[in-house]
Amino acid sequence: MYSPLSVSLVYYHQYFVSISQNAQGGSVSPTSGWYNASSSVTISATAFKGWQFEGWLGSGASSYTGNASTQVVTITSINEEACSTPV
């Protein structure tokens, strides 16, 4: 015997955010991945010994470009690259 079934779906608009390091001179967080649109994410970069963090190079409407190692960005379709140079 069949009975009625009710299904409820929740849809979230998401963007893929690319977060990378330009060289082997440090680490970044969080990792690249899918994030809910208009949410806020804190990006951070840490230089390894013998390297110096120079800044973020961002592209996209709400991306960040500047020399703060930690920054809060609003999620749209953005790319963030941490730039480090050897000391």
Number of independent structural domains in the chain: 1
Phi, psi of 5 (to 5 degrees): -130, 135
Q: Residue 1 — very low, low, confident or very high, per pLDDT cuts 50/70/90?
A: confident
CA distances from residue 56 to 11, 15, 84 in whole angstroms, order as listed? 31, 19, 9
Please report whether residue 78 resides in a domain. yes
Cα separation, 52 vs 42, in Å, equals: 20
Q: Which domain holds residue 29?
A: 14-86
Cα separation, 80 vs 24, in Å, equals: 16
Please report whether residue 5 resides in a domain. no
Please report whether residue 2 resides in a domain. no
Given a cut of 90, is residue 56 above it in pLDDT? yes
State the pLDDT at residue 29.
96
